[in-house]
Structure 1
Amino acid sequence: MLIKFILILMMTMFGWLNFASANSTDYTAWKAQQQQQDARLKQQTASASANHYLSKPSLDPAASADKIHLNTASVEQLQQLHGIGLKKAEAIVAYRNKHGKFKNIEEIQLIKGIGAAIFNKNKARLAL
């Protein structure tokens, strides 16, 4: 009986040792993969943030291409502005036809239904 107990004890100990060494190998491989992934992410983050400024405006010429020119924009183009639907876009074109070209972008506020709130939302995209 004692021999059986010792044999079972020894088998259990060897089983745990094999299990621990197998898990150690798995853990080492997993850790190496994680470190490689971390290095890739760190490199991507570093390259992405190298050209990223939160407080500096974009100097990209494509950014100025998004501007809506009040003196030449069509009704469809004017509708791309925030808070400007079909009726307000038509009112802008009618105002332009009646009074001539806009002298400054602030003049858009003279049109009924376009106040300071809509102007402030859109002034970055407005041009003459």
Structure 2
Amino acid sequence: MFIKFFSPKTIPVYHCCTGHLGTLTWGKVTEYGLHHLDTISLESAIRYPNLQFTENRFRYHCLRTVQEVFPAFLLDCYMRIIGRKPIFIKVFEHWIFFTSNSWIFPNDNSVSLQNEMSDIDQK
């Protein structure tokens, strides 16, 4: 009875995404990636990292076909030959969906909770 009387109409969500406070762009990802590329071992990598940005749709689809779809297709063929389930085309389709869209997760509840905390609790 007490819980029903005082329960909020919406459930507040708290998460630790920086959201709009520290936006991560593809430019920053490229900068960080190129900076740390020399310190990462690429001996067992399937291919060397290569980032290219374009606003031209035709060039984008050509690059995607040559650099992602065709290698994924070849890897799936290899997986079939060795008797395993082909997964690479499906992985790249999901990858494109998440990397081609903008994702905004507002963290207003977390920020307001942080502001309500005392200095000792924030440490």
Q: Select the structure that is richer in helix.
A: 1
TM-score (norm: length of structure 2): 0.20
State the structure with bigger RCO (CA 8 A, min sep 6), 1 or 2. 2
